[in-house]
Amino acid sequence: MLNPFGSSLVATDLNGDGHTDLAVGYGSRAIAPESGGVSALLNHGDGTFDNPDGTFGAGEHYGAGHNSLATADFDGDGRPDVAMIDTVQTGPGVRVLYNRCLP
């Protein structure tokens, strides 16, 4: 189930199907215990989105305390990755979440 406390959003084609998908960041476990992650919402191309694995990457949650996301191909593999400001999990800094949506 998608957490209702999203605090940041980026739009990009995460799975290479030509449709703009969404990565939604959740930044505060104080607000909701299941937050602190980044969910990939995959666009079906008909106005609906799906959250197949719960979070970006491989079903993992990442540190709470982030409120900004950016997307780019950080590792040069041709897939858009997501970077987030992480002020809790790893201390102040940037964490890159590598895209595993494409085979």
User: Is the Cβ–Cβ distance between 44 and 25 less than 8 Å?
Assistant: no
Q: Is the dihedral of CA 10, 74, 18, 44 positive or negative?
A: negative
Residue listed under structure tokens 């609906």:
48
Amino acid 42: pLDDT: 87
Amino acid 38: pLDDT: 77
64 or 49: which leads in pLDDT: 49
Element (H, E) at 11: strand 6-12
Secondary structure of residue 10 in the 3-state scheme: strand
DSSP 40-60: EEEE-SSS-EE-SSSSHHHH-
**Per-residue pLDDT reduced to its tens digit, 75-93:** 999 889 888 876 665 566 7
